[in-house]
Amino acid sequence: MRKPAKGGAVSSLRLSRRGRKDLLLAFLLLLPTIYILLKTFVSPIIESLVWSFYKYNLMDGSDVIWVGFRNYKQIFGLNEFWVSMENTAYFTVFTVGAELVFGFFSALLLNQMFGGRLFFRGIIIIPWAMLTLVNGLMWNWIYQPGYGGLTVILHKLGMLSANSNPIWLTNSFKIMTFASIADIWKMTPYMTLLLLAGLQSLPSSLYEAAVMDGAGFWKKIWHITLPQLKPAIIVAVVLRIIGAFRVYDILTVFSGDPTTSVSFLTYNYAFRYFYLGKASAMAWISTLFILALILVYIRMLKRNSELE
Amino acid sequence: MANHLGTNAAAPVIGTRRNSTIRSRLFKTASNELISPFYLWIGLILLTLFTLAPFVYLLLTSISPSIELLDGRLIPKSPTLDNYVRLFTGPTAASYISAIKNSVSVALWTTLLTIVLGVFAAYALAKIKFPFRTTALFAILAMQLLPSISIIVPMYIMMRNGIPVGIPFTGIVFFHTPPLLDTVAGLVVAYTTFSLPFAVWLMAGYFQTISKELEEAAYVDGNGRLGTMFRVVIPLAMPGIAATAIFTMLSAWDEFLFASAFTQTEAAKTLPVAIREFIGRHNLDWGLMTAGGFIASLPPVIISLFLYRYIVGGLSAGGVKE
């Protein structure tokens, strides 16, 4: 930017001569990616929108007929759909909230200077790197009644009397809660690393003035850390909501009940009953919600880059 | 805040007794830090405990004999590798081994395809000025953030019927792939759909950090656009490309939704699908299940620990949703 004007003039002259060639080159370089994404992304997502207005039942071989908004109307009248929405909302709010709180304090710890910091920063990546399905399997084992880790430890600590042996995953609320705990364990490190990156970009002299004022821990956090970290927090939270709302994999380990999440219900409509029209409509409801979040995210990114 | 400087500055109280020096050192927060050493280490111990305990428990379970597990022992009295031996030689060994093979080939092919195609697109988006460039970049970001469920239904039909490859809108078809349901190739196509926009977004970000001056120098040396790209931009962006490759590989290794919808047999079932089936199949045989889970998690965990720097760099570059 601050280079002498001469260099800039030469390069802009060069560019204008090369302008047309450049445009062609850009097109050629982008062509394979554009082709693949048109074929496997853009066209399916449009097809799915179109199918959501049709009765398209793959199993009984009936005709594909235009039904307008009937699929959507039926879905909104469906009790299962609202139950699945509620469960998804509970899972999303609970996991993202807890991950934010734990992730924030972990990031504060790991941002301090101390010996062996790299070791502690390294181990938190282990839960994040584990397979989602293995994480589900592992927590399912922990929650086993009788001899699973949770029951055994509660017995040993005396928090559970020796003759009581609860079954943890009895109703859908408990299933959602325990599945959320599994997800919180796995995804808190992700939040930690995102917030840690945010903290590292703040100046190290941040708290010095506040110390002079005699501000304590909570005051410093409330008046200095949180406001400074706000852009990073919003970005991390939006990304996590996008990730949590689509939850499917971990729930299949804990429960065969498709109403535990919208994705699960959509999957079941598509691949168990093969009601492709209805499944497409349901998928589009999720798509619209996530698209709205993506717009928020892009707006945040633009604003953050303008600040820099 | 600066105008308050010095008004309230209290001189640090220096303890006379040894006891109070230790105490003040433990509880005193350095001026540029937030947390005093005492609470810092309490926090770190709790963090380590909660982070590692479930993982260590998984490992300990996998080396415990079944009889001890059903007794509720946390730490095995007589550790054994029997579960691992059964995993690779028992009646279900064949399906587990084929799942490993499928996972490896899906992850490698997806990564190769994604990086080779993505590098060119990312270079164009980062380094060549053309109309609607920013819009294209954000469209690519949006694609990558959408859930797989958005496109899974039409994609299933596409996989079932095979994919025609030709010139769009003209009806010209060069060739028509065979049906791709229950094949590794089908999964590679499905995974590339999401990893390609992700990779393009991430790599374009890395390419943008490479200074214009270096490129100008390459032009002056008589390199064309492509020469500059291969001799200057790509070598300098290698850490970013490596990070992108790692993320692509890890997400392909972890993917479950497409894999469970598009695969039926050992020909294409990947590890997550195999792990999911464990739960019904090996009822109560937790030793075997945890052994299978541990082996499946080992590659991503080791890769992430060794390539920690790349992972963190990629995460903070944004757009990694999981």
Rounded Cα gap, residues B137 and B153, in angstroms: 26
pLDDT of B321 reads 55
Q: Residues 83..112 of B with a Cβ closer than 8 Å to A: which?
A: none
Tell which residue, A233, A15, A247, A28, has the closest CA to residue B212: A15
Residues A196-222, mean pLDDT to the nearest whole number: 81
pLDDT of B251 reads 94
Rounded Cα gap, residues A184 and B310, in angstroms: 23
pLDDT of A18 reads 65
pLDDT of A7 reads 42
Tell which residue, B284, B294, B293, B296, has the closest CA to residue B69: B284
Please give the structure tokens belonging to residue A116: 């062996």
pLDDT of B125 reads 93
Higher pLDDT, A15 or B170: B170
pLDDT of B318 reads 57
User: Which helix (H) or strand (E) covers residue A54, if one does?
Assistant: strand A54-55
pLDDT of A20 reads 81
CA of B130 vs chain A CAs: smallest distance (Å): 6
Residues A214-229, mean pLDDT to the nearest whole number: 86
Domain ranges (residues) in chain B:
2-71, 84-316
**Phi and psi, residue B174, nearest 5°:** -75, -50
CA of A132 vs chain B CAs: smallest distance (Å): 6
Is-contact A262 A286, C-beta < 8 A? yes
Rounded Cα gap, residues B35 and B45, in angstroms: 14
Percent of chain B beyond pLDDT 90?
57
By mean pLDDT, which of A141-155, A212-226, A276-290, B282-296 is the weakest?
A: A212-226
Percent of chain A beyond pLDDT 90?
64
β-partners of residue A54 are A66
β-partners of residue A115 are none
Judge: B297–A284 Cβ closer than 8 Å, yes or no: no
Q: What is the 3-state secondary structure (H, E, C) of chain B?
A: CHHHCCCCCCCCCCCCCHHHHHHHHHHCCCCCCCCCHHHHHHHHHHHHHHHHHHHHHHHHHHCCCHHHHHCCCCCCCCCCCHHHHHHHHCCCHHHHHHHHHHHHHHHHHHHHHHHHHHHHHHHHHHHCCCCCHHHHHHHHHHHHHCCHHHCHHHHHHHHHHCCEEEECCCCEEEEECCCCCCCHHHHHHHHHHHHHHHHHHHHHHHHHCCCHHHHHHHHHCCCCHHHHHHHHHHHHCHHHHHHHHHHHHHHHHHCCHHHHHHCCCCCCCCHHHHHHHHHHHCCCCHHHHHHHHHHHHHHHHHHHHHCHHHHHHHHHCCCCCC
Rounded Cα gap, residues B305 and A121, in angstroms: 10
Tell which residue, A30, A11, A27, has the closest CA to residue B218: A11
Is-contact A207 B31, C-beta < 8 A? yes
For residue B92, give every residue at least 6 positions away whose Cβ sits within 8 Å of its Cβ, in sequence order, or none: B281, B282
CA of B173 vs chain A CAs: smallest distance (Å): 13
Higher pLDDT, A14 or B85: B85
| Cα-based distances in Å from B54 to A59, A152, A185, A192, A235 | 43, 13, 9, 18, 29
Please tell me the pTM assigned to this model: 0.89
pLDDT of A216 reads 81
ipTM higher than 0.95?
Answer: no
Q: Tell me the pLDDT tens digit for each residue of A143-168.
A: 998 889 999 999 989 888 878 888 99
How many distinct helices (H) and strands (E) make up chain A?
A: 15, 2
Please give the structure tokens belonging to residue B246: 């790692």
pLDDT of B84 reads 96
pLDDT of A307 reads 66
Out of A147, A253, A266, whose CB is closest to B71? A147
User: Which helix (H) or strand (E) covers residue A4, if one does?
Assistant: none
Biggest alpha carbon distance in chain A?
85
Spans of chain B, pLDDT less than 70? 1-20, 316-322
Q: How confident is the model at residue A219 (pLDDT cuts 50, 70, 90)?
A: confident
Q: Residues 23..82 of B with a Cβ closer than 8 Å to A: which?
A: 29, 31-35, 37, 40, 43-44, 47-48, 50-52, 54-55, 57-58, 61, 69-72, 74
Domain A74-307: give its CATH architecture.
Answer: Orthogonal Bundle (1.10)
CATH 3.20.20.70 fits B84-316, yes or no: no
Q: How confident is the model at residue A126 (pLDDT cuts 50, 70, 90)?
A: very high
**Phi and psi, residue B164, nearest 5°:** -80, 135
Is-contact B151 B230, C-beta < 8 A? no
Tell which residue, B236, B166, B183, has the closest CA to residue B207: B236
For residue B98, give every residue at least 6 positions away whose Cβ sits within 8 Å of its Cβ, in sequence order, or none: B266, B267, B269
Three-state DSSP at A275 gives strand
Chain B residues touching residue A35 (CB < 8 angstroms): 168
pLDDT of B13 reads 44
Q: Pick the residue of A15, A29, A59 with the most B CBs within 10 A to test the interface with B by mutation.
A: A29
Q: Residues 151..190 of A with a Cβ closer than 8 Å to B: which?
A: 151-153, 155, 185, 187, 189-190
Out of B212, B296, B315, whose CB is closest to A194? B315
Is-contact B133 B208, C-beta < 8 A? no
pLDDT of B322 reads 58
pLDDT of B152 reads 95
Residues A184-196, mean pLDDT to the nearest whole number: 94
Please give the structure tokens belonging to residue B104: 């490896």
At residue B313's C-alpha, the angle toward residues B310 and B319, to 5°, is 115
DSSP label of A308: -
